[in-house]
Amino acid sequence: MITFNVLIFDYMNQKKIALYLTVLFPFQILFVSIISKYPNWIETYYSKGFYPVVSKFLRLIFGRIPFSFGDVLGIILSSMLIYSIYKLIKHKFKNVIPKLLTFTALLSTLYFCFYCFWGLNYFRNPLAQNLGIQQSKYTTEQLVLTTKKIIKTLNFYQFEITKNDTVKVKTIYSTSEIYKKTSKGYAVLAETYPQFSYQHSSIKNSLVSLMHMYTGTSGYFNPITGEAQVNSRIPKTGFPATACHEIAHQIGWSAENDANFLGFLASISNPDIYFKYAGYRMAFYYLIGDIKKRDADLAKELWKTVHKGISKDFKASYALWSQYDNPIEPYLKKGYSSYLKANNQTKGIKSYSYVVDLLIAYDLKIGL
């Protein structure tokens, strides 16, 4: 009888907790909506105060685990959700209210963890302001000038690696070796910009890399566990820049254009030549893409100045990704774009390419 009463009491407590968490959900959304209007407060007290402590703690805990704990957690939660839906259908939606209450309670908890552990960084002051550079509309002439500088440097590093301008670069490192070297770029970068220092590495291969090939995802950051994951199947010549991009998310730069630019700076600051190549390769990809939108013929002319070995690298990368083309991917990208728009990135998935603004502004002030 005592055991039965304890079970009843425990069940009632679980229902109360689920109800409380569900009721709190809309208040959390309202709080985030209000606080997002105060980027200076977020910058001072969250991004530079609370978040660095939380992120270092998470990296200390989960960085020691040799596999992606966040992926395991995601697989478990996804499996539980699928099983719960199956049971609901099987039992003809009997007891659907308690199940929905449990689901909304879980959503409320995840929402809290997301914005508490990382998500408020979406509303901090932009990276350009942190670096003291002025983003503004740029002319095609400025775009071309910066692109030519990047091409010259990219050609240099391709030749330094291969000793032949027609040979495609082949990265000699394993993914684990790349991860070990990634923090060196941030260490060099932190000598000039101490705010970008990075300790307690926690970057790993994604356990679901094959799935990410079909979704067109190179890497991602798990805000619940503080782990950075890279799709282990992506072309290795771009792997170092992707790893640096995900670390940028880890140290608090949520916006994709900011993470792209910081990933670029960390890559070219790295003493390793393969990282430098990857960084300039990424910058060229976005710059030439922007030129192509403005003037396709001009883009073709600039491509003629790029070493054939680099062209082969990009063609091989395109061929690899093309193998995983599928009709679902565009819809997934639309969903991700909506997520970004809901988090202060008004251009959605196009925000990645807004790194061009930063590259040109940085080139005008400091030089590339």
CA gap 128, 364 in Å, rounded: 13
Take residue 141 and report the two structure tokens written for it.
């002439």
- 34 and 102 share one domain: yes
Burial state string for 33-52 with b = 16 or more CB within 10 A and e = fewer than 16: eeebeebeebbeebbeeebb
In a shared domain, residues 157 and 88 = no
Q: Are residues 24 and 56 in the same domain?
A: yes
**Contacts for 48 with CB less than 8 Å, ≥ 6 apart:** 195
* Number of separate domains in the chain: 2
Same domain, yes or no: 147 and 47 = no
Does one domain contain both 338 and 236? yes
Q: Of the residues 56, 88, 123, which one is the last residue of a structural domain?
A: 123
Pair (7, 72) in one structural domain: yes
One-letter identity of residue 271: P
Same domain, 159 and 303: yes
DSSP string, 73-106: HHHHHHHHHHHHHHHHHHTTTTTHHHHHHHHHHH
pLDDT of residue 347: 67
pLDDT value at position 2? 41
Residue 227 bridge partners (DSSP): 222
End-of-domain residue from the set 91, 123, 155: 123
**What is each CA distance from 247 to 96, 107, 180, 208, 230, in whole angstroms?**
41, 26, 12, 19, 10
Long-range residue pairs from 47-56, CB within 8 A, at least 24 positions apart, any chain: 47/120, 47/121, 47/124, 47/252, 48/195, 51/118, 51/120, 51/121, 51/252, 52/251, 52/252, 54/116, 54/117, 54/226, 55/117, 55/118, 55/226, 55/250, 55/251, 55/252, 56/199, 56/200
Q: Coil, strand, or helix at residue 314? A: helix
* Residue 166 and residue 251 in one domain: yes
> Token pair of 114, please?
């997301």
- Give yes or no: residues 254 and 132 share one domain: yes
- Which of 123, 151, 177 terminates a domain? The answer is 123
The angle, 0 to 180 degrees and rounded to 10, between the axes of the packed helices 96-117 and 2-35 is 50
| 132 and 104, same domain (yes or no) | no
Instruction: Output the tens digit of pLDDT for each of the chain's 368 residues.
Output: 444 343 333 444 777 888 889 999 999 999 999 999 999 999 999 999 999 999 999 999 999 999 999 999 999 988 988 888 888 787 777 777 878 888 899 999 999 999 999 999 999 999 999 998 887 788 999 999 999 999 999 999 999 999 999 999 999 999 999 999 999 999 999 999 999 999 999 999 999 999 999 999 999 999 999 999 999 999 999 999 999 999 999 999 999 999 999 999 999 999 999 999 999 999 999 999 999 999 999 999 999 999 999 999 999 999 999 999 988 878 777 777 677 777 766 665 565 557 898 999 988 887 77
Helix segments in the chain, DSSP class H: 2-35, 39-41, 51-62, 69-90, 96-117, 127-131, 140-162, 175-192, 209-215, 239-250, 256-269, 273-294, 296-303, 308-322, 329-342, 355-365
* Same domain (yes/no): 93, 158: no
Does 155 share its domain with 235? yes
Residues forming beta bridges with residue 221, ordered by sequence position: 228
Q: Which domain holds residue 159?
A: 127-365
